Chain A
């Protein structure tokens, strides 16, 4: 085989190899996305564990009638909350959000709050400020109205199971159990200053 043919063959092989090898730039993009997805996935699993506990405690309570009175609703909610608080005694920040979510959430939300509509989004969330510090595994303070969660914020956060919500208290993002009215977990200063 002549040098010319060897060169042609080498080039052909090189072109074929380049065509089938992973694109390094694409692979570079995948890594952080997968890291985010993995953090979301791990978070979702911890939420599922929490809701399994909630359902187990709820199942042990007297069932609500089809048309419960406000008193029955309140009694049931407080009993459920008490049961969860006892079962999660010693719960602390990060138990459900996990180690990766705080930084991830802050990074994801920062462009929303610092973007052109950031002031409006912030104002919508903190329209009735209350000087309250959220406490993990405690009842959501009754005197604090629920923050509005604008669509631009919610679309960046992972989907939650029914009965679980993200809310803000001041700049802190909380995971709220709607059924028991408990603060399940907190990310401090998820909203930038």
Chain B
């Protein structure tokens, strides 16, 4: 027996599935391809512009960069090249900012490689990694204002960032985080810190002890995106309980072929060259690109922000 309403029912099922996906903050990565890109990256080419709209929030995210090695400088050149076409004014740093010791390291591992960005007025907001000396919190260019962990509202769009100190997740920090998340009325809540809650890298992998403390807060208070470093690869996870997790810990150091190809949590990975993330938030969408040292886009897509599960989704959020 044929159902006369079959096409309508199918459409309803598709729409429902899309609604559920949107509610979970599922990213729609493009282009489709192997989960982990391997082999030499594509030849250098100008990055495809994101929507690049006026009034959007444009920012970079990268970690584990402060080596002072030529590779770091080469990736930094890609960041500077992107700046001319994609006018970001914020860079969130995911820790292991300065691997070296001594004051000169700040010059060779930060001020020199990112001079074009600094000169252009890009504001850096750092989090600390396990290799970072604590006095970095007083180093003005890192924008930490003397705090190990802090929150700030972005200059544009309804976005609030939460920079955490993941090497020292003391009860006071967790209580502070819950209070700040609970009190935030911003549409986008983005957390970043050094240790990844989810990672398919063999070098370190998921920091489960930290995940048990943080992930429930991210889920409960509608954090949409989390950026981390520590593992020296690029990886975007499939949404975990609706939250999209990135590892972008290869802006200076690289562990080649470190990603476990059999991992079931990887949405996209890149572990054959350095990379950073460029992102743009416009309304409910966060467009992103992961860009390699040659300027190749190794991952891209859109994250739709999480909303309270009880709220009905606007049609515009359905993709």
Q: A70-B139, A120-B209 are in contact. Are A154 and B171 (CB under 8 A)?
A: yes
Residues on the A chain within 8 Å of B139, using CB: 68, 70, 73
When the two chains form their complex, are residues A67 and B174 in contact, meaning their CB atoms are under 8 A apart?
no
Q: Is the CB of A159 closer than 8 A to any CB of chain B? A: yes
Q: Is the CB of A124 closer than 8 A to any CB of chain B? A: yes
How many Å from the CB of B307 to the closest CB on chain A?
Answer: 28
Which residues of chain B in 189-234 are interfacial with respect to chain A, using CB atoms and an 8 Å cutoff? Answer: 195, 204, 207-210, 212-213
When the two chains form their complex, are residues B103 and A71 in contact, meaning their CB atoms are under 8 A apart?
yes
Query: Nearest chain-B residue to A74 (Cβ)?
Result: B103
A147 to B102, CA, bound (A): 20
Give the tally of cross-chain contacts (CB within 8 A).
79
When the two chains form their complex, are residues B138 and A124 in contact, meaning their CB atoms are under 8 A apart?
no
A120 to B197, CA, bound (A): 13
Q: What string of 1s and 0s marks CB contacts (under 8 Å) between A114-132 and chain B?
A: 0001001100100110000
Residues on the B chain within 8 Å of A117, using CB: 208-209
Q: Is the CB of B131 closer than 8 A to any CB of chain A? A: yes
Q: What string of 1s and 0s marks CB contacts (under 8 Å) between A130-167 and chain B?
A: 00000000000011011111111011000100000100
Residues on the B chain within 8 Å of A67, using CB: 140
How many Å from the CB of A44 to the closest CB on chain B?
Answer: 15
A117 to B207, CA, bound (A): 12
When the two chains form their complex, are residues B131 and A149 in contact, meaning their CB atoms are under 8 A apart?
no
Q: A148-B130, A154-B169 are in contact. Are A64 and B138 (CB under 8 A)?
A: yes
How many Å from the CB of A123 to the closest CB on chain B?
Answer: 9
Residues on the B chain within 8 Å of A124, using CB: 207-210
Residues on the A chain within 8 Å of B131, using CB: 145-146
When the two chains form their complex, are residues A159 and B209 in contact, meaning their CB atoms are under 8 A apart?
no
Q: Is the CB of B54 closer than 8 A to any CB of chain A? A: no
A154 to B102, CA, bound (A): 29
When the two chains form their complex, are residues A165 and B168 in contact, meaning their CB atoms are under 8 A apart?
yes
Q: Is the CB of B156 closer than 8 A to any CB of chain A? A: no
| B interface residue numbers (CB < 8 A to A) | 101-107, 130-135, 138-140, 166-172, 174, 195, 204, 207-210, 212-213
A-B contact pairs, 26 of them (CB 8 A): A64-B138, A69-B103, A70-B103, A70-B106, A70-B107, A70-B139, A71-B103, A117-B209, A120-B208, A124-B209, A127-B204, A145-B130, A146-B167, A147-B167, A148-B166, A148-B167, A148-B195, A149-B167, A150-B209, A150-B210, A151-B169, A151-B209, A151-B210, A159-B170, A159-B171, A159-B172
Instruction: Please list the 8 inter-chain residue pairs (A to B) with the smallest Cβ-Cβ separation, ordered nearest first.
Output: A150-B209, A70-B103, A70-B106, A67-B140, A71-B103, A151-B213, A142-B101, A145-B130
